[in-house]
Structures are given as C-alpha cells and as structure tokens.
Structure 1
Amino acid sequence: MPVWRNFFLGSEITKGVGPFRRLDVDEMKRISKAELAAMGIDLRDVEQPIGTLSGGERQCVAIARAVYFGARVLILDEPTAALGVKQSGVVLKYIAKARDRGLGVVFITHNPHHAYPVGDRFMLLRRGKKHGRLPRVGDDARRAHLDDGRRRRAGVAGARAGQHDGRGLADRAGDEG
C-alpha cells in the first residue's frame, strides 16, 4: 500500500456524485505530500509502499496523519521502543513539532531521556502507582536527578556532594503528591 493511501485509509477523498463517485487520487497525493512536508518529513515519493519506510518514518507518517485529521491529543505508548538511536531522535523531533502546533501529547515511556525533550510536565509511576508529578526543571537539576536515580537503582546510596539537595525524583515527587 502506498504512503498516500495509508495516510488517507478510512477517510479517502472522493470526487463525483452517486454511482460516478471515485477516489480523488491526485488530491490525496498532493495533501499527503504537503502535510508530511509541513511536519518536516521528506519522503522521496508518496507512491512508495509504506512497508519500505523505516520504523521511525512510519511513526512520523502516523503523527502527521493524526495532525491532519484534527486530533487534539496524541497518546503515544512507547513509540521509540523498537527504534534505533537515530530513528528515535527523528520521532522525538516530530512529536515536538506536533506539540508546537498545539496538540496535547501524552507520551508513555520508560526512558526519561526520551520524555524530557518533548515534555512540560511529568508523572512518575512505579508498578502502576503514582509517585508524583514533576515540572520540567533546568538541565543541570535534571541531570542531577537522573544521576541520583541511576545510583539508587544500582544500590549506591547518596548523591555527590554539592550537586543538589540529595533528594531524587521519587523524593521530590512525594512532595507534590
């Protein structure tokens, strides 16, 4: 199935009336190419099969489709889980573009390094229980919190002196809970 057909799957544009109604293929190709370009996705040809795209490109087509058809909220559950580093970066860039266009984004991930570039607020969950809400903080404080979390998982107590107040993400989240 070509990219343009996948883009409009279930919402095809038609022309004509009654029994003379048919798909407006040229218009669907034009719109899909324009919408993908507006999101910064540069495909060689919208005629190419969707199966030939990388996982990251397919995710990006899905995001562009949601934006075009008027989604107000994107709910993304581990969209970067099966992707390599480069493809994950591409997908994160398009998620940020969707956010910048005014869409609400619910981004579910196990990787805080993927969540931080696209998030404004964060909900920390452990085994399905809320451990608090966290606002976005400056890069230095974020690094300190992430480093502290890594040490806790590794079984190393405490944090480096002078880096921050010694409390990790879970401790801070409890303050807001």
Structure 2
Amino acid sequence: MSTDAIYEARGIVRRFGAVQALDGADFDVRPGEVSALIGDNGAGKSTLVRILAGADVPDGGTLSFEGKELTLTTPNQARDLGVETVFQDLALANHLDPIQNMYLGRELMRPGLLGRLGFMQRAEMRRRGAAAFDSLGATVRDYEGAVSGMSGGQRQAIAVARAATWADKVIFLDEPTAALGVVQTKGVLDLIRRIRDQGLGVVYISHSMPEVLEVSDRVHVMRQGRRVAVYDAKSSSVEELVGAMTGALETKEAS
C-alpha cells in the first residue's frame, strides 16, 4: 500500500444557499487502500463524494489527482481519470441482464460498417463480463436474467463489479451494504477487499462502524463540513470513532 495520495481534496467549500455543507474539508485516498469516510447525517460526506466524483462543483478549495491540480465539472471527466462511483441508487437498468448493465454506455461495437450501424460484439461482451465477475468473486449466478429479479446482494455486487471493471484508479462506494443481510454484506465486503488488492483506491462510505473497522485501512471522520480526524482502522475502536463523530472525544490525525 502506497503512502502517497492518488486523489486529494484540500479546503473544499460548498454552500447551498444559507447552508454550509462543506467548510474547508480535506480528504485523500491512496492506491491499494480502503479509506472509510464516516460522519453523522449532515456532516458533508455525500456532498464531498459528489464533488470528488464530478457530480457537483465546489465553491472553493482544490482537487488534485496524481499530484496535478484539476477542475471537475462532470462525472465523465472523473471517469476519464479512472474514477468510478457507486451511489446508493445503484443506477442499474432493471430490465437488462448483468452483462448488459456492465457494458451500458460502453458497448463493444463490431468493426467497420456493422459497428456504425449499431451491431455489437455480444458474445465478446458476455465473455469479458463473465470473466470480470468471476475474477472479482461477485455472487452473480445468472448472467441471462434481468437484474430486477435478483437479490439486493446480487444487485449490489453487480453495481460494484461494474464500477471496478471500468475504474483503474479510484472507486467510491456510498453505503454499499445499507440494505443487505449478514451473508450478503460479507460478500460485498469480500468484493471490496479484492478490489483493494488489485491496487485501486477504495473510498467506503458507511454508517456501520463495525464494518468500517473490518474492511478499512484508514478512517476519515467528518463533522460539520470538515474532516476532523483520520484513524488507523487496526488500532481504533467503535467508541473512538463515534466519539470523534459526535465531538465527545478529542480528535487526532493519523498518517
């Protein structure tokens, strides 16, 4: 795991009318690391992630990627950098199967005239898609059926695996286990570890402190629109994290 950040935010400010959503927020993620982002409702987590994903524009502060300052105005710009995001709504097309969802908007077209006429390389997409799901250990058993008929855990695994397939630098996961049972949650956490072990930086947003400590390397705590602490997950505790979130404990920054 590298100690050099691949993606950094410094002094990010974002206002919505009279509401100060972010007030000088900092954040960084490293390759081959799971960085948890936690905080109470209204702490600014979702706003910060939307800015880092290119879905919102800050009023102040700077973003830098691989050491170079940048400005993001659309999610496509973030994707071009190798940054993918899985929001809570998953953004799956329910009437399509897992492979079609993986390649939605990124279809492999046939060469030449057939491609220009809209003909796709369906067999090759199916082969590559199945291989991607298998390599990540995603619990997808039916590649033919519509995702609308699949369990919450399978749908979440499809969304995460799709993002991991196209991301080659950083992946943001917003509450990926919020609506899942114990077994399904374990499958998603295992998938997150596999993505990290491939060298990607993973940003994990969650309200579940035990899951945060189980899967994360570092834990970034936000309160009132700012990052107030960074903890080493291996040496922290639920009590310490909750205390930092609520302001009950003195906070600290860890390397």
- TM (norm. structure 2) is 0.54
Paired AA for residue 174 in structure 1: K
Count of aligned positions: 154
Q: 1:35 to 1:169 in 2, by over 3 A?
A: farther
Q: Secondary structure at the match of 1:75?
A: strand
In the aligned structure 2, how far is the partner of 1:169 from the partner of 1:68? 41
Q: Residue 101 of structure 2 aligns to which amino acid in structure 1?
A: N
Judging changes above 3 Å, is the alpha-carbon distance between structure 1 residues 114 and 51 closer, same or farther for their aligned structure 2 residues?
same
1:95, CA displacement in angstroms? 0.8
Separation (CA, whole Å) in 2 of partners of 1:2 and 1:83: 21
How big is each residue's C-alpha offset from its partner over 1:130-175, in whole Å with a ceiling of 9 and x where there is no partner? 331111334xxx4xx325677x7xxxxxxxxxxxxxxx9933x336
Specify every segment of 5 or more residues in structure 2 that has no aligned partner in the other structure, as ranges.
1-95
1:10 aligns to 2:89 (yes or no): no
Give how far 1:106 is off: 0.9
2:176 aligns to what SS in structure 1?
Answer: coil
Q: Give the 3-state SS of the residue equivalent to 2:203 in structure 1.
A: strand
Alpha-carbon distance, 1:117 to partner: 2.3
Aligned to 1:109: 206
Aligned AA (1:170): L
> Which secondary structure does the structure 1 equivalent of 2:173 belong to?
strand
**1:149/1:116 CA distance change after superposition, 3 Å:** closer
Match of residue 41 from structure 1: 138
SS of 1:106 mapped into structure 2: strand
AA partner of residue 113 (structure 1): P
Structure 1 distance, partners of 2:213, 2:231, is 11
* Alpha-carbon shift at residue 16 of structure 1 (Å): 3.3
| Rg (Cα) greater in structure | 1
* More relative contact order, 1 or 2 (CA 8 Å, 6+ apart): 2
1:146 maps to which residue? 238
**Residue equivalent to 2:67:** none
Who is 2:161 aligned against?
Answer: 64
Query: 1:31/1:169 Cα in 2 relative to 1: closer, same or farther (>3 Å)?
Result: farther
For the residues of structure 1 that align with 2:178 and 2:131, how far apart are their CA atoms?
Answer: 28
| 2: CA distance, partners of 1:68 / 1:148 | 35
**What secondary structure is seen at the aligned counterpart in 2 of 1:107?**
strand
Report the aligned-residue RMSD: 2.5
4+ residue runs over 4 A deviation: 147-150
User: Once the two structures are superposed, what CA deviation does each residue of 1:38-92 show, in whole Å capped at 9, x if it has no partner?
Assistant: 0112433311111122122122112222222233111111111122222111111
Q: Which has the larger strand fraction? A: 2
The answer to whether the aligner puts 1:174 opposite 2:252 as a matched pair is yes
Amino acid at match of 1:39: L
Cα distance in 2 for partners of 1:67, 1:106 equals: 12
For 1:148 and 1:44, the matched residues in 2 are separated by 40
Provide the secondary structure at the position in 1 that maps to 2:202: strand
In 1, the alpha carbon distance for the partners of 2:241 and 2:138 equals 35
Question: Alpha-carbon deviation of 1:108?
Answer: 1.0
